[in-house]
Amino acid sequence: MKVGIIICDRYRSCAGGKCFRAARQREGAFSCYPKDEPLEIVGYSTCGGCPGGNVEYVPEEMIKNGAQVIHLATGLVVGYPPCPHMSYFVDFIPKRYGVAVEVGTHPIPEKYRRIHRLLPSWSLVQDQPGLMANEEVRRAYD
């Protein structure tokens, strides 16, 4: 499987450590891929900042590199605040590019879970069971 990752522009200096570790260990949203099959990240970019102008262009480059699915990074789900444009990205990318979208990358860190479960945006997380993992895994991503 070849995947592209789009992160929130607020975290543009992020080196992607948690995303890449989760992909390697098949944790978080990457838990849907078999551990015995190759997984390659073929693109990593920001959304371009609100309202997400890069989302109109970067999937095309990722697809040129073989991306079969685009992951919207966990930081878009539990950032401060969560991305207000996420549902648009989830709808737009498959319609424009015909490629699947997965919400999330690495498991939600336990310290984020503790506060975000008290916020109205928690429904975004509850709809993504792969991001929850178990407490031990969530703590490893703190």
Q: Is 142 helix (H, G, I), strand (E, B) or coil?
A: coil
Establish if 68 belongs to a structural domain. Answer: yes
The reply to whether 100 falls in a domain is yes
- CA dihedral (40, 3, 23, 85) in degrees, to 10, reads 160
* Residue 48 domain flag: yes
Residue 29 maps to a domain: yes
Confidence (pTM):
0.90
Please state the domain count of the chain: 1
Residue 28 belongs to domain spanning: 6-74+83-107+124-140
CB 97 within 8 A of CB 128: no
Tens of pLDDT, residue by residue over 83-139, are 999 999 999 999 999 999 999 999 988 988 888 888 887 777 766 777 888 889 989
Please report the pLDDT score of residue 79 as a whole number.
Answer: 79
Q: Give domain status of residue 69, yes or no.
A: yes
